[in-house]
Chain A
Amino acid sequence: MTANPLLEIRNLTRRFGGLEAAADVSFRVETNAIVALIGPNGAGKTTVFNVVTGIYPPSEGDIVFCDSSVAGLRSDDICRLGIARTFQNIRLFAGMTVLENVLVGRHTRTGSTLGDALINSRRHRREEEESRERARHLLRFVGVPGLEDELASNLPYGLQRRLEIARALASEPKLILLDEPAAGLTPTEKSGLRELVLTMKEDGHTILLIEHCMKFVMGLSDHIVVLDHGRKISEGNPAAVRNDPAVIEAYLGVATEQAAS
């Protein structure tokens, strides 16, 4: 491997009291790849996401993004550097419209101040127009067209998931983290989402996603990292991971460990 990876997680550990939610996890995300982070409930997948996006700092280890460490930075700084995310339990701005939600995503790519807004300066007008145009484009791209002025909370569940992706894309991230984007979707919606993720890759995006459902990630990912009880138990291309005995054991369990998850 010659070029440095876009994201490298080095020996990441995150403890909550006595619980090691993530223990000594290391993996890399190459540019323009789709990497899936899988594992049973409570494996520490979301913990890894939360540490990478600065919701809490790592207890140990380092996170290197674009050749510099982002470990322990605040969420908003990490977003500015180019990591955007969605949430497992959708976190839209419920009282704002669909368009406004995406416009919030433009925050780091715009800079007009309160003064600019007050006098309706050229910069303010240019940025607003540009952002609105981009936001509308993104809404079409993710498949939520024609609902701009609807309140986000009024959208059906499947579209809320897509809207969250549009908001994340609005910040023009170098890396986008999707936390269980397929959770709760119908089979039809799932395959639609899969198409969307593939199109995002074609457009040059790099995607790290969390998923429960093995079937969903298998044909989609370039690389899969498997976590169980906070530790990485396997890693590799989909075919290799599927046949790894450690993975099969974690998912199906052995007789004595059935109560674990």
Chain B
Amino acid sequence: MTRDAKLRLSGWILTILFLASLPRLLPVTFVLGDYRIDLGLHHATLCALFVIMAMGVNLSIGFAGLLDLGFIAFIAIGSYMMSISLTFRSPVPWWIALVLAILVAGTVRATLGATCLRLRGDYLAIVTLGFGEITRVALKNNLFGLTGGPDGIFLGSASIPDFLDQSRNPVPLYFLSLAFAAGSSFALSRWKRSRAGRAWEAVREDETAAAASGINIFRARLWAYGLGGAFGGLAGGLFAIYNTISHPSDYDFVESVKIVAMVVLGGMGSTGGVIAGSVLFLLLLEIFRGLAEYRMLIFGATLVCLMLFRPQGLAGRRS
């Protein structure tokens, strides 16, 4: 084994050990004078969920170059799908509910994509922004009489399978989320170095040249878009269990911006960078919780600096 491979292997082993021992290490509290920072296992679970969401956005924006400012809509659809399935008169098993969340979110996004993916850049961003808001308002207005209106859908202990119930034991949900986050990251890193991944990048870089190289632009985009939505649905489904509620106010525009920001922070298109970006982002939000709404101000300034000094993100490839 080369030295490089050894280093990488030990890196992986350390990461796995660290993630596996997190349930024992957490919660921790840092006290600095009057200021307290509490980090619990649920923060780690939340990190994992954000990694999944960020992968969905990375697939659309980072790989295929399709700017989406309403990604939260697909997370909301996944979340509501999960809650509706679990609270139905004859509830379905949690894993079928999760598959439904993935499929419905992916299908809705592919359908939206089929109508608007011929638009470019800014125009597509406006459509997705509108779709995000429409989805939130529709859910709030008790869409199809299923979404519970402004109260959302509450998932009681009776509806959540015992082993995923955080109030009993937060560890299984943590490991389940972690497994899905790892799986999503794995899928994206595999796809990046594949025929389809290169086709996405080619379409992003130059449509005309991509078409002349034999790539069906529309189909490539539709796949990237639909699959991105499926990741959103997965994250949303798990988020419903995490939150024990699907509530319309959790899915507003700012959340879409946050996820895009994570991807930009980490480096669009870079799987490792996006993971780092989402974890870092979430930790910083938690650490500076005391600053309340000022966090967004600081975060905005940080992003502006990033755009000025390192536009490709922390780990992105320069071009």
Q: A153 to B194, Cβ gap below 8 A? A: no
Q: A85-B212, A96-B201 are in contact. Are A120 and B319 (CB under 8 A)?
A: no
A95 with B211: in contact, given A114-B194, A117-B190, A118-B191 (CB under 8 Å)? no
Q: Does B157 contact A (CB under 8 A)?
A: no
Instruction: Render A214-247 as a binary contact track against B, CB cut-off 8 A, 1 for contact.
Output: 0000000000000000000000000000000000
In contact, B199 and A107 (Cβ under 8 angstroms): yes
* In the complex, residue of chain B having the shortest beta-carbon distance to the beta carbon of A171: B214
Residue of B nearest to A101 (CB): B202
**Interchain CB contact (< 8 A) of A75 among B194, B206, B212:** B212
Known contacts A76-B215, A95-B319, A107-B215: A112-B209 contact under CB 8 Å: no
Return chain B residues, CB-CB under 8 Å to A116.
194
| B195 contact from A87, A94, A127, A171, Cβ within 8 A | A127
Residues of A within 8 A of B209 (CB): 87, 91-93
Digitize B301-319: 1 where CB-to-A-CB distance is under 8 Å, 0 elsewhere. Answer: 0000000000000000111
* Interface assignment of B16: CB less than 8 Å from any CB of chain A: no
For the complex, is B249 an interface residue (Cβ under 8 Å from A)? no
Please determine whether B211 and A104 come into contact, CB atoms closer than 8 angstroms.
no
Size of the chain A interface, CB-CB below 8 angstroms: 40
Closest Cβ of chain B to A105, distance in Å, is: 5
- Answer yes or no: B213 CB below 8 A from chain A CBs: yes
> Which residues of A lie under 8 Å from residue B190 when comparing CB positions?
117-118, 120
Pair A107/B187 contact, Cβ less than 8 Å: no
Contact call B211/A75, Cβ cutoff below 8 A:
yes
Most chain B CB within 10 A, of A74, A92, A103, A124, is at A103
| Overall SS of chain B's interface | helix
B173-196 contact mask (Cβ, 8 Å, vs A): 1 or 0: 000000000000001001101111
How far in angstroms is the closest Cβ of chain A from B106?
13
Contact status B213-A107, CB under 8 Å = yes
Contact A117 to B212, CB < 8 A, known contacts A96-B202, A153-B319: no
Does residue B205 face the partner (Cβ distance < 8 Å to A)? yes
Q: B111 at interface (Cβ–Cβ under 8 A)? A: no
CB within 8 Å of B: which A51-106 residues = 53-55, 74-76, 79-80, 84-85, 87, 91-96, 100, 103-106
Quick one: closest B residue to A112, CB to CB?
B195
B243 lies within 8 A of chain A by Cβ: no
Asked whether, in the complex, the Cβ of A96 is within 8 Å of the Cβ of B205, the reply is yes
Contact A76 B317 (CB under 8 A): no
A110 at the interface (CB under 8 A from B): yes
In the assembled complex, the Cα of A146 lies from the Cα of B227 at a distance in Å of: 36
Interface positions, chain B 196-235, Cβ under 8 Å from A, are 196-199, 201-202, 204-206, 208-217, 223, 227
A167 to B202, CA, bound (A): 12
Which of B208, B210, B216, B317 is close to A95, meaning CB atoms less than 8 Å apart? B317
A244 CB, nearest partner CB in chain B, Å:
33
- Closest approach, in angstroms, between the C-beta of A17 and any C-beta of chain B? 21
Judge whether A160 is part of the interface by a CB distance below 8 angstroms: no
Which residues of chain A have C-beta atoms less than 8 A from B195's C-beta? 106-107, 110-112, 117, 124, 127
Q: Are B212 and A113 interface neighbours, CB within 8 A?
A: no
- Note all chain B residues with C-beta closer than 8 A to A54: 211
Q: Is the CB of A93 within 8 A of B194?
A: no
Residues of B within 8 A of A80 (CB): 214
Q: How far is the CB of A180 from chain B (nearest CB, A)?
A: 15
Shortest Cβ gap from B177 to chain A (Å): 20
Given contacts A79-B212, A79-B213, contact A94 B205 (CB under 8 A): yes
Determine if A151 is an interface residue (Cβ-Cβ < 8 Å): yes
- Of residues 242 through 271 on chain B, the ones whose CB sits less than 8 Å from some CB of chain A are none
Contact A117 B214 (CB under 8 A): no
Q: Please give, as numbers and ranges, the residues of chain A lying within 8 Å of B211 by CB-CB distance.
A: 54-55, 74-76, 79
B227 to chain A, nearest CB (A): 8
In the complex, per-residue mask of A158-187: 1 if CB is within 8 Å of any chain B CB, else 0: 000000000100010000000000000000
Assembled-state Cα–Cα distance A105/B193 (Å): 15
Q: Does A108 make an interface contact (CB < 8 A)?
A: yes
Residues of B within 8 A of A110 (CB): 195
The reply to whether B210 and A104 form a contact with Cβ atoms under 8 Å apart is yes
Given known A95-B319, A117-B190, contact A79–B214 (CB-CB < 8 A): yes
The 6 nearest A-B residue pairs measured at CB: A117-B194, A108-B214, A95-B319, A79-B214, A75-B211, A93-B205
A selection of 21 A-B contacts at a CB cut-off of 8 Å is A74-B211, A76-B211, A76-B213, A76-B214, A76-B216, A80-B214, A87-B209, A93-B206, A93-B210, A94-B206, A96-B198, A100-B201, A104-B213, A107-B199, A108-B214, A110-B195, A114-B194, A117-B191, A117-B194, A117-B196, A118-B191
**Chain B residues within CB distance 8 Å of chain A:** 187, 190-191, 193-199, 201-202, 204-206, 208-217, 223, 227, 317-319
* A-B contact sample (12 more), CB < 8 A, given A91-B209, A107-B214: A55-B208, A87-B208, A94-B319, A96-B198, A96-B202, A100-B201, A107-B198, A107-B213, A108-B213, A116-B194, A167-B213, A171-B213
